């Protein structure tokens, strides 16, 4: 899709990748970006930026946001949570928290914004920010991986359901990004700004699976070659 002239909404836009995505979209010529956050006062302003209160687990806030931002042509579901780790030691409450934001929250936001996206002249795009862990479990982050795998499955289902409505549904599968989420993990990471620019370039190309950083591209090539080798590679990191 063309970013120039588009009206985008980014969830979790107050920090990390979401904040970088707002900048990358403005850089690419978006006419307006709704920067949605749990605390919208933390969103960096600008003449083309509209801060929006949105906790993706709160139905009443989702409904209010969908009413306000009823002109979007591009929805980027970026808000995400990493609370559940090892599969044997995580608690049900930790796993539940990740599913509530990463799976149910994402789906609720998409469903509420569908009327606006269906009205978008010339079609619309939904982008779900997932993870390389959507494609195979990264055992140290097993609960989070399960939530991102579920979100990937839902992304595939939505892609099929919304095709006839001229709504493209894209999955973003990043490797480690240098944000608060993984600050405890010691491994090479890509900057949020570089990841955001590559992600936007993937949207422009209409890639159904966007691998926006060097590790993601390498792992994406391995996944295309052999799902089993991909699983083993992740298990041995
Ligand atoms: N960092 C990585 O290595 C990495 C790798 C692959 C994929 N990802 C994915 O990239 C996306 C962005 O993550 P990040 O690295 O930028 O993480 P981050 O720095 O921890 O930021 C997470 C963002 O999501 C927001 N958020 C969390 N739960 C929310 C909810 N229920 N409603 C609304 N907003 C919520 C946070 O808001 P608050 O400030 O209010 O908490 C924050 O703005 C996530 O989907 C993540 O899973 C990250």
Residue-wise pLDDT for 147-160, tens only, equals 999 999 999 999 99
Tell me the mean pLDDT in the region 6-30: 98
Please tell me if the CB atom of residue 84 comes closer than 6 angstroms to any atom of ligand 1. Answer: no
Residue numbers annotated as active site: 144
Ligand 1 pocket, residue 179 CB under 6 Å: yes
The reply to whether ligand 1 has any atom less than 6 angstroms from the CB of 196 is: no
CA distances from residue 94 to 54, 90, 100, 107, 176 in whole angstroms, order as listed: 21, 6, 10, 19, 21
Average pLDDT of the chain, as a whole number? 97
pLDDT > 90: percent of the chain: 98
**Confidence band of 210 (pLDDT split at 50, 70, 90):** very high
The phi and psi torsions of 181 (rounded to 5 degrees) equal: -55, -40
Mean pLDDT, residues 191-214 taken together: 98
pLDDT 10s digits, 87-141: 999 999 999 999 999 999 999 999 999 999 999 999 999 999 999 999 999 999 9
- The protein residue whose alpha carbon is closest to atom 20 in ligand 1 is 181
pTM (2 decimals)? 0.98
Q: Which residues contact 43 (CB under 8 A, 6 or more apart)?
A: 13, 14, 19, 22, 35, 37, 49, 51
Instruction: State if residue 101 touches ligand 1 by the CB under 6 angstroms criterion.
Output: yes
**∠ CA(224), CA(230), CA(233), 5° rounding?**
145
Contacts of 221 (CB under 8 A, 6+ apart): none
Task: Look at residue 44 and tell me whether its pLDDT is greater than 90.
Answer: no
pLDDT confidence of residue 49: 98
Q: What is the pLDDT of residue 144?
A: 98
179 alpha carbon – ligand 1 mean position (Å): 9
- Span 218-230, pLDDT tens digits: 999 999 999 999 9
Cα 122 to ligand 1 centroid, rounded to whole Å = 30
Task: For residue 54, give the ligand 1 atom closest to its CA.
Answer: 33
Q: How far is ligand 1, taken at its centre, from the CA of residue 153, in Å?
A: 19
Task: Mark 146-172 as b/e (b = at least 16 C-beta within 10 Å).
Answer: bbbbbbbebbeebbeebeeeebbbbbb
Closest listed residue to residue 158, CA positions, set 201, 109, 204, 199: 109
Structure tokens, 66: 């969908």
The reply to whether ligand 1 has any atom less than 6 angstroms from the CB of 21 is: no
232 CA to centre of ligand 1 in angstroms: 26
Q: Is the pLDDT of residue 215 over 90?
A: yes
Three-state secondary-structure class, residue 93: helix
Query: Is the pLDDT score of 145 beyond 90?
Result: yes
- Read off the pLDDT of each residue in 205-231 and give the average, rounded to a whole number: 97
């Amino acid at each position: 899709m063309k970013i120039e002239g588009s009206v985008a909404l980014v969830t979790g836009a107050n920090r990390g990748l979401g904040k970088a995505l707002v900048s990358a979209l403005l850089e690419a010529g978006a006419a307006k970006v709704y920067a949605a956050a749990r605390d919208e006062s933390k969103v960096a302003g600008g003449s083309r930026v509209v801060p929006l209160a949105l906790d993706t687990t709160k139905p009443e806030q989702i409904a209010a946001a969908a009413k306000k931002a009823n002109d979007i042509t591009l929805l980027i579901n970026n808000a995400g949570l990493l609370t559940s780790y090892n599969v044997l030691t995580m608690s049900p409450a930790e796993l539940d928290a990740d599913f509530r934001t990463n799976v149910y929250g994402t789906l609720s936001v998409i469903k509420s914004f569908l009327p606006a996206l269906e009205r978008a002249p010339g079609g619309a795009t939904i982008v779900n920010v997932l993870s390389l862990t959507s494609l195979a479990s990264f055992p140290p982050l097993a609960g989070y991986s399960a939530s991102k795998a579920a979100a990937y499955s839902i992304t595939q289902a939505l892609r099929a359901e919304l095709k006839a409505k001229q709504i493209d549904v894209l999955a973003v599968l990043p490797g480690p990004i240098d944000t608060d989420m993984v600050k405890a993990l010691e491994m090479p990471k890509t900057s949020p700004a570089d990841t955001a620019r590559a992600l936007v370039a993937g949207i422009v190309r209409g890639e159904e699976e966007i691998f926006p950083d060097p590790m993601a591209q390498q792992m994406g090539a391995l996944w295309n070659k052999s799902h089993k080798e991909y699983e083993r590679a992740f298990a041995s990191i």
